[in-house]
């Protein structure tokens, strides 16, 4: 395989051209376009609203995605299969709007293209639509906090970390602590953190309200401004499922926990959009 060439044929100028038809004098239409350009210019980060520049930038992004996809195919010694137009055309269209400096999203699009040509499945059109809605911060959150495993091996993602199983595990932890004859909040906190610190789970927050009236905040994840909205968005897209267990009755008090778990679709989506360590393909 020639490096940098993807064994797929596509028009990288797809949808980059727009035909305007109007029964308005050319001079009047020109003045209207000039006025619109001046009005929009403050929102374009000084790049200028030039159609040719936007088109070239979109083509550059698609060429870079194709190069990275080719590198991954070469690394995996994979034989690509034709991609259905209903997947390929929307993928190229949506991917082309990615900022050329956004390496994380470009990597994700390249990996999704490889997934589409290597192992097609019925959810790929949905994955294309969802990736087009994500910001780098969403992808970074998933890579850094949800997947955890550097090799992105999701085979052990605990999709059964529902409320019942976690309650049972926490009670088991407390039983072992009390069997020692002494209650230790720090030990309990550490064991719960270990329980929820696994690939596919995001331990968000927790607390222990003792019968004595004292309240203890458990480790969870340090608060980062704006991150809660990211997780809520991922829940709305069926990538994550939120669990909020309010009352886990244990000897000496009550525990509450909030955490997120990858859905079955979320696992499939991450497998399609990630490849080993983030950025490895681009290097």
The reported pTM is 0.75
Q: Is pLDDT of 253 > 90?
A: no
Q: Is pLDDT of 276 > 80?
A: no
Q: Is pLDDT of 31 > 50?
A: yes
Q: Is pLDDT of 145 > 80?
A: no
- pLDDT, mean of residues 136-161: 69
Q: Residue 2 has what DSSP assignment?
A: -
Q: What class has domain 163-265?
A: alpha beta
Token representation of residue 139:
């992808």
Q: Is pLDDT of 130 > 90?
A: yes
In sequence order, the 6+-apart residues with CB closer than 8 A to the CB of 106 are 61, 64, 65, 68, 98, 100, 282
Contact criterion met (CB below 8 Å) for 261 and 158:
yes
Percent of the chain with pLDDT over 70: 70
Least Cα distance to 131 among 155, 112, 152 occurs for 112
Least Cα distance to 196 among 126, 260, 251, 139 occurs for 260
Q: Is pLDDT of 5 > 70?
A: no
- pLDDT, mean of residues 45-52: 56
Query: For residue 181, what pLDDT is reported?
Result: 61
Cα separations (Å) of 215 from 97, 147, 187, 218? 49, 31, 16, 10
Query: For residue 105, what pLDDT is reported?
Result: 95
List where CATH 3.30.1140 sits in the chain. 163-265
- pLDDT, mean of residues 152-168: 69
Could you tell me the maximum CA-CA distance found in the chain, to the nearest angstrom?
A: 90
Least Cα distance to 259 among 163, 150, 156, 139 occurs for 163
């Amino acid at each position: 395989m020639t490096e940098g060439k993807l064994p797929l044929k596509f028009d990288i100028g797809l949808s980059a051209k727009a035909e305007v038809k109007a029964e308005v004098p050319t001079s009047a239409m020109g003045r209207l376009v000039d006025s619109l350009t001046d009005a929009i210019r403050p929102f374009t980060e000084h790049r200028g609203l030039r159609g040719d520049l936007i088109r070239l930038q979109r083509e550059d992004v698609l060429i870079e995605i194709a190069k990275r996809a080719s590198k991954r195919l070469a690394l995996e010694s994979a034989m690509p299969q034709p991609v259905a137009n209903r997947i390929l055309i929307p993928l190229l269209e949506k991917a082309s709007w990615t900022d050329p400096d956004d390496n994380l999203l470009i990597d994700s699009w390249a990996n999704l293209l490889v997934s589409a040509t290597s192992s097609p499945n019925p959810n790929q059109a949905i994955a294309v639509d969802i990736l087009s809605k994500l910001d780098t911060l969403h992808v970074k959150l998933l890579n850094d906090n949800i997947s955890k495993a550097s090799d992105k091996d999701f085979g052990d993602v605990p999709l059964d970390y529902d409320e019942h199983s976690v309650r049972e595990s926490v009670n088991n932890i407390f039983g072992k602590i009390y069997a020692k004859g002494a209650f230790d909040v720090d030990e309990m906190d550490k064991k719960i953190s270990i329980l929820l610190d696994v690939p596919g789970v995001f331990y968000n927050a927790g607390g222990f309200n003792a019968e004595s009236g004292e309240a203890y905040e458990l480790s969870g994840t340090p608060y980062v401004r704006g991150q809660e909205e990211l997780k809520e968005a991922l829940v709305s897209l069926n990538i994550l499922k939120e669990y909020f267990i309010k009352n886990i009755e244990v000897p000496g008090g009550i525990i509450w926990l909030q955490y997120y778990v990858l859905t079955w679709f979320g696992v499939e989506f991450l497998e399609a959009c990630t490849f080993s360590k983030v950025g490895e393909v681009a290097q």
